[in-house]
Amino acid sequence: SAVTISASGLPSGVTVKYKNNPIPAPGSGTAQMQISVSSTATTGIATITLTGTGGGLTETATVKIDVTN
């Protein structure tokens, strides 16, 4: 089945945009995630949790970003 990717834990002013999301069935392939930071974003180190869901399974990974002015 297809795999859908989502991100949580984004600081204020930080957004993500995906290319190739969901990844079509059978869930083998790649997706790209672009992180955008506004000039008013909350600064500091943030941990973003990436979640992939499909076929009754859920997998997570974390990414740390350092938002500076």
pLDDT at 25: 84
d(CA 56, CA 31): 19
Locate tokens 């969901």: which residue? 22
The three-state secondary structure class of 34 is strand
pLDDT, tens only, 14-68 = 999 999 999 998 878 899 999 999 999 999 999 999 999 999 999 999 999 999 9
- How confident is residue 69, by pLDDT bands cut at 50, 70 and 90? confident
44-54 and 57-67 as β-strands: parallel, antiparallel, unpaired? Answer: antiparallel
Q: Among candidates 4, 64, 48, 59, which has minimal Cα distance to 29? A: 4
d(CA 6, CA 29): 16
